[in-house]
Structure 1
Amino acid sequence: MKVSLSQSISFLFFAVYGSPNVVVRRQLWGFLSELSFSSNTPWVLAGDFNALFCSEENVGGIKPVVIYKKFRDFVEREGLSKMKCMGLKFTWVRRQCHEVLDHVLVNLMWFRQFSLVVVEHLPRLHSDHSPLYFQVQGCSVVPAGCKCFRCQTA
């Protein structure tokens, strides 16, 4: 989706859902790899990637190191960067397992054009996932009739 902040400032936003199924998730990495993140357009990929970036993003669950590596390899290969987030440390909780499955990834053009961005993991309300709050500093305009984005999966 193209997001225009003004006539001259815009970026491309992709809401991501990564399947818990490793094979299906690899297909997502393949599809996303076909996009041109290195273009002159700022890109943002945000959502539930169902993937961990490192072992510190997991407490109480067991994940093989190879799974972290595949996600990190995808991010590095595509020239993307994982944005640091404020707020809750973990974005997904189930019983004793706490993980960071929700991420915001951006390309180099994003950092060149938008240096002041806040990303926050908000408290969970009606889900086992924390919502991501994403704000470009200096841009507080919310279009009239704006509604929360909801995603239903099959």
Structure 2
Amino acid sequence: MRSWKDTIQLEIIQNHPQFILVKIHNGGLIKPILTAIVYGNPNPIKRKSLWEALKAAIPSDNTPWMALGDFNALLSEEDKKSSSIIGKRCPHFREFLESKNLQDLGFQGPFFTWQRGGVFERLDRAIANEAWCQMFPQCLITHLTRIKSDHRPLLVNNNLDFKLPRGRPFRFLAGWAQH
């Protein structure tokens, strides 16, 4: 186990060819969290093993789990923009997310995270299980500026000090659209 700062300790749980799984212990957290840092193989045949290995890395209990990085896979055709090439989504990626009930954590910033020439793709993202989403409901992923890379780095901000507004939550009523 390695210490980072005085209160954070990292423990490498698994070192897979396409991801590293770490357990993060923080004195301020009730329980440790698991994070997988992913670099999916660009070859779809080799990348297929990533989905099964990540499935096995997700805890069956209520431990918060997140994966982020370059999955090298498209979830939808909209994840690619090019004048001549149509985006081909990865059905294995979608099946993986659905089978484990994982959420894409969304983002702020430019939509596409990878660019080469006139081809733009969203290959980089953060996903999490329900326990993560409950522990960090204000988690914010930001697509940063590309510097000396064809990928945008991802910034994860758990924003634990963010306070939600008090009072009644806003509810949209469908009838308003017809009024």
Deviations 1:106-145 (A, max 9, x none): 0010111111111000010010000001011136xxxxxx
Q: Is the 8 A contact 2:77 2:86 kept in 1?
A: no
- Alignment of 1:62 onto 2:106: no
Whose relative contact order is higher, 1 or 2, with alpha carbons under 8 Å and at least 6 apart? 1
Deviation readout 1:79-106 (Å, 9 max, x if unpaired):
2111110011100000010000001010
Contact 1:38 1:78 in 2 (8 A): no
Question: Who is 2:23 aligned against?
Answer: 2
Where does residue 107 of structure 1 map in the other structure? 129
CA distance in 2, matches of 1:135, 1:59: 28
Question: Are the counterparts in 2 of residues 38 and 107 from structure 1 also a CA contact under 8 Å?
Answer: no
Q: Is the 8 A contact 2:76 2:88 kept in 1?
A: no
Q: CA deviation at 1:38?
A: 4.0
Contact 1:42 1:110 in 2 (8 A): yes
Report deviation, 1:9. 4.3
The reply on whether 1:34 has 2:56 as its aligned counterpart is yes
Alpha-carbon distance in structure 2 between the residues aligned to 1:41 and 1:31:
17
Return the TM-score normalized by structure 1: 0.83
Residue 86 of structure 1 is matched in structure 2 by 108
Preserved contact between residue 114 and residue 121 of structure 2 (Cα < 8 Å):
yes
Q: Give the aligned length.
A: 137
Q: How does 1:4-153 map to 2 (within 5 A)?
A: 4-5=25-26, 6-60=28-82, 61-65=85-89, 67=90, 69-138=91-160
Alpha-carbon distance, 1:62 to partner: 2.5
Which letter maps to 1:32? Answer: L
Cα distance in 2 between the residues matched to 1:73 and 1:89: 22
The answer to whether the 8 A contact 1:38-1:108 is kept is no
- The structure that has the greater radius of gyration is 2
Structure 1 CA distance, aligned partners of 2:88 and 2:70? 19
Alpha-carbon distance in structure 2 between the residues aligned to 1:26 and 1:7 = 34
Matched residues in 2 for 1:131 and 1:31: separation?
24
